[in-house]
A and B are shown apart, each in its own frame.
Chain A
Amino acid sequence: MKVDVHGLTLKYGDAVAVSDLDLTVNEGESLVLLGQSGCGKTSTMRCIAGLETPASAVITIGDQTVFDSGRGINRAPNKRNVGMVFQSYAIWPHMTVFENVAFPLKMKGRKKAEIGEAVHETLELVGLDHLAERGASLLSGGQMQRVALARSLAMQPSVLLLDEPLSNLDARLRHRLRMELRELQLRLRLTSLYVTHDQDEALALADRIALMQSGRIVQIGEPHEIYANPKSASIAEFLGVDNVIPVTPEDATCVQLTATGQKLKVEPYEAAETLRLCVRAEDVLLAAGGAGDVNALPGTIVSFAFQGSTVAYRVRVGDGLELDAVQMKSAGPLFGMNDAVTVSLPARAMRVLPAEVAA
């Protein structure tokens, strides 16, 4: 069901965790709240769940208002029919897998036969039917994660909340479960809100991503949109843009590197108080020798690292300014330490952005 959050403000004492936040999760949509730890994303989720009490907000799930500070409405978490997968999984160790998954159905007062059927169906969905009678404390991390998911799915929630559900798993398992989760989600078309600090996870799992910084949403949009057009340098940096360099404006299509004074041609940009030049390492081109034309800077290789399909270089292009560059192995000769190179920065690949999104 559609979830609507309006004017959400949450305070811990004097500290404001979330400030005046608006957010809509459309029916059947997977929305990912992405941000660094402490940005308020988990707090936002816990407000929707009812585990935190906001200072002010109107929150509706479907056509039911679950929280309204103005009218004194605060529906108990257990009456909201919201499923939640906790970061710690919160699998009850004193129950079996079956009992864990059956719990929400028992709370709904379903009949025993009905519960049994539904639990096995859900466990099958996550591939754990054979472990139904196992004690929950004997499960591996990946299995616990699936039980937690099954438990929430079994209750047929109006909305499913997932709080960094993959962060406690090792990289390979995380990758596999991410794919499974996306598959399941595309199949069931469940309205879900997913919290993570991992940009790859967000890009893979989201229909839309809402980026959070210090208690507010700074950008919202489809993954490819956000990836291609971050609104600020700090968002770009968070999304894995390797080179974020302070620049000062020259004219509409030219900026000056603040550290070295070199001028670069860029695409038209919007004026702002502090500007940053953002360019991904894979877009920085390296060539041997010292000469070059527009947007070419002389540089020296400071360090390099072989990464399998690519090679990463760090190049010094002036006093206090170093750039990261990544080249396909086959793209050209491999450089060594202290080699002189020409760094070319294609205008099309660069973006001049304000340091932060204006409040």
Chain B
Amino acid sequence: MTSQTVGKPVRNRPAGLRGRARRLLREITLPAVLFAVLALLILAPVALVVLSAFASDTPRPGNFDLSGLTLDNFVDVTSAGSLKAALNSLAVGIGASALALLIGGFLAFVTARTNVYWRGFLYLVGLLPMLLPSYVGALAWSVLGSENAGLANITLRDLGLPPFVDVNNIAGLIVVLALYYAPYAFLLIHGALSLMNPDLEEAANVHGAPFGQVLRRVTLPLVTPAFLGAAVLIFVLTIENFPVSQIIGGAAGVETLPTYIYRLMNSTPSRGNEAAAVAIALVAVVLVVTALQRRMLARRTFTTVSGKGMKPRQIDLGGWRLPALLAGLGYFVLSTVLPVLALAFVALHDSPYIGTVLGSFGKPDAFTVEAFADVLDSSIAQRATVNSVVVSVAAALLGTLLAFAVAYVVQRTKLPGRQPLEYVSMLPLAIPAIVLGLGLLWTWLIMPIPVYGTLAVMVIAFVAAQMPQGFRGVASSIGQVDRDLEDSAVMHGASRTRAIASITAPLLRVGLTSTFLLLLMLSMRELTVPLFLFTSDTRLLSIVIFDDFDNGILQRAAATSLLYCLVILALSILSRRFGASEQR
């Protein structure tokens, strides 16, 4: 081609180089700023935990001594106590995930694919326990199921039956965890079963497989990824769960790695370096399990979702319709009905000492709303409520904004450093909450900015801990908006910023709102992350409940828990409504 119009006079400075350098500088600014923010939020805490595990002193304000690096802390990891805790953790993780998968998988199958009685209701039964933070469930079960003073056994004695319920042991811990993590299995497996392209099953049918074979050779293998995903997720969540282990296992002296870390931190003098070493062992377990899952799934692809919204075939349960319903109801009673009744009973009972359950209903003044009045009146609870709301709203807002910025850069640009941004954003998934809490504590202790002991540090902690959920939420909704829509605005004269503001953001409104509500909900429920960070002025509702229980103020703990559940219920109805409008 001729270059008559091209041959502009070339100026005599090496502008090419300078131009390129300027371009690079411009391109790198945004990712660099985001990376710095994420590094401070997530990498610094993780790094401090790792360093502390090798140091002889924990980080303190203005001082973090790295001179005495040592492996001594790991001696404790191999001590009898910590090995016992590790074994307990493994048993609890494996047992609870197996049981949760069984419950969740069963409910998912009958509600997605069969004509079980009350199908719609059983679907709700599968989801409902999500509204109960696991430590509220644990609290209720410790009220219900302790060997001597448990309401279940008192009722049995009232009826003249031998008491046999005891949750304060490792089996009880497994059952309680499974009850409250089964909904995760339910959701994932139900999704896979109901979104599966029915053509796949019909094709097997047409090609000669009888019904049972279709199920075994096509349907079940296709839900394997969902099943495995749920298994790993629940294993990780239960093995790192602190409050349930503390509440249920604490009374029986069943120690798991998270409670062991907590005890090391709370002993006098605090043994933070050893806690850090144990934390690393816990992280290692989590990483190995997630890596295994990736390897198992990497070998095949499982594209089953057709997006056509066809209705999968329904299986006729025949004589099993009723037994299946009863099994589902059994789970409903254990996970939701009994715990809520127990909390209500304790909160409303006139005295913390309960001699008889059935007998109380005969006495005229056995019930009083005093405990509720107490809670509503108490300055601690009021303060905690305000704190919880302020922290959660701020964390959800900032978290959504940060997630949007990061997800936009990762998904929509070709800027350098996109991959690391994504990795760091997802990192907290592999860090147990108690470990992240530990790291956040040390990070903001040594930071020259005075945020430690304020609500701001809580907000920072929540933004860091919930970055993966926020990133995933925003990234998936950005993925649903065709990038051409924004590019076309730019082609038609809008600047990139203007195009984001007038096209992309409005189209993402629903996705951003539901991410915000999800983060709000997670922040409201979180107990473990702020556990090392609160002071008497910055207690959150979750912490107040945990404290009250720890100090034996059961009635108030139960009353606060119930009110707390109501708040969470309201929030989730709100987010469901926004989530539903996404379908339009």
Contacts and interface: CB of A to CB of B under 8 A. Distances in A.
Counting chain A CB atoms within 10 Å of each CB, which of B22, B485, B498, B507 scores highest? B485
A58 interface: yes
Contacts of A68: 8
Interface hub of B5, B23, B491 (most chain A Cβ within 10 A): B491
B506 interface: yes
Nearest to A69: B16
B488 A86 contact: yes
Interface in B279-311: none
B1 A92 contact: no
B507 A90 contact: no
A76 B506 CA distance: 23
Residue among B6, B22, B23, B498 with the most chain A CB within 10 A?
B6
Most buried by B among A53, A68, A148: A68
A282 interface: no
Interface in A108-157: 108, 148, 151-152, 155
A58 to B, nearest CB: 5
Interface in B239-284: none
A345 B90 CA distance: 79
A126 B6 CA distance: 36
Given A76-B496, A152-B492, A24 B487 contact: no
Interface stretch (A77-85, A223-231, A312-320): A77-85
B489 interface: yes
A237 interface: no
A88 B1 contact: no
- What is the interface residue range for chain B against chain A? 20 to 34
Contacts of A172: none
Nearest to B486: A90
B19 interface: yes
A50 B1 CA distance: 21
A163 B503 CA distance: 21
B492 A73 contact: no
A83 B493 CA distance: 9
Interface in B445-495: 482, 484-485, 487-495
Contact of B507 (A23, A49, A93): A93
B363 interface: no
Given A73-B19, A84-B488, A88-B484, A6 B494 contact: no
B15 interface: yes
B484 A86 contact: yes
B492 A2 contact: no
A219 interface: no
B495 A83 contact: no
Interface of B is mostly: helix
Nearest to B4: A4
Contacts of B18: 72
A104 interface: yes
A35 to B, nearest CB: 18
A72 B23 CA distance: 8
Given A72-B22, A90-B484, A104-B493, A58 B6 contact: yes
Interface in B14-39: 15-16, 18-20, 22-23
Nearest to B18: A72
Nearest to A23: B1
A325 to B, nearest CB: 38
A51 B19 contact: no
Contact of A71 (B16, B482, B493, B496): B16
A349 B401 CA distance: 67
B222 to A, nearest CB: 30
Contact of A65 (B2, B8, B487, B488): B8
A63 interface: yes
A22 B6 CA distance: 11
Interface string B308-349: 000000000000000000000000000000000000000000
Contacts of A87: 484
B111 to A, nearest CB: 32
A332 B8 CA distance: 64
B387 to A, nearest CB: 38
A84 B492 CA distance: 8
A308 interface: no
B484 A76 contact: no
Interface in B403-439: 414
Interface in B492-512: 492-496, 498-499, 503, 506-507
Contacts of B6: 4, 6, 58, 60, 65
Given A24-B2, A69-B16, A83 B503 contact: no
B10 interface: yes
Contacts of A238: none
Interface in A138-196: 148, 151-152, 155
B495 A76 contact: yes
B22 A78 contact: no
A77 B492 CA distance: 9
A70 interface: yes
Contact of B490 (A23, A65, A69, A78): A78
Contact of B495 (A78, A89, A104): A78
B3 interface: yes
A22 B23 CA distance: 24
Nearest to A108: B493
Contacts of A51: 487, 490-491
B212 to A, nearest CB: 42
Contact of B485 (A6, A84, A92): A92
Interface string A344-358: 000000000000000
Given A6-B1, A22-B1, A71-B16, A83 B507 contact: no
A83 B491 contact: yes
Most buried by A among B20, B485, B488, B506: B488
A90 B1 contact: no
Contacts of A50: 490
A149 to B, nearest CB: 12
A107 interface: yes
A335 interface: no
Max count, chain B CB within 10 A of own CB: residue among A51, A76, A151: A51
A135 B584 CA distance: 14
Contacts of A269: none
B493 A107 contact: yes
Contacts of B507: 92-94
Contacts of A214: none
B23 A74 contact: yes
Interface in A31-66: 49-51, 53, 58, 60, 63, 65
Nearest to A85: B488
A151 B487 contact: no
B1 A24 contact: yes
The winner among A77, A86, A155 for most chain B CB atoms within 10 A is: A77
26 contacts: A6-B3, A22-B1, A51-B487, A53-B414, A58-B3, A60-B6, A72-B15, A72-B23, A76-B496, A77-B487, A77-B491, A78-B499, A84-B488, A84-B492, A86-B487, A86-B488, A89-B484, A92-B488, A92-B503, A92-B507, A93-B507, A103-B489, A104-B492, A151-B488, A151-B492, A155-B492
Pairs A-B, 10 closest by C-beta atoms:
A72-B19, A107-B493, A22-B1, A104-B492, A90-B484, A90-B488, A84-B491, A86-B484, A77-B490, A6-B6
Given A70-B10, A78-B495, 13 more contacts: A2-B5, A71-B8, A71-B16, A72-B22, A77-B491, A78-B499, A82-B491, A84-B492, A86-B488, A90-B485, A92-B503, A104-B492, A151-B492
Interface of B: 1-3, 5-6, 8, 10-11, 15-16, 18-20, 22-23, 414, 482, 484-485, 487-496, 498-499, 503, 506-507
Interface of A: 2, 4-6, 22-24, 49-51, 53, 58, 60, 63, 65, 68-74, 76-78, 81-84, 86-90, 92-94, 103-104, 107-108, 148, 151-152, 155
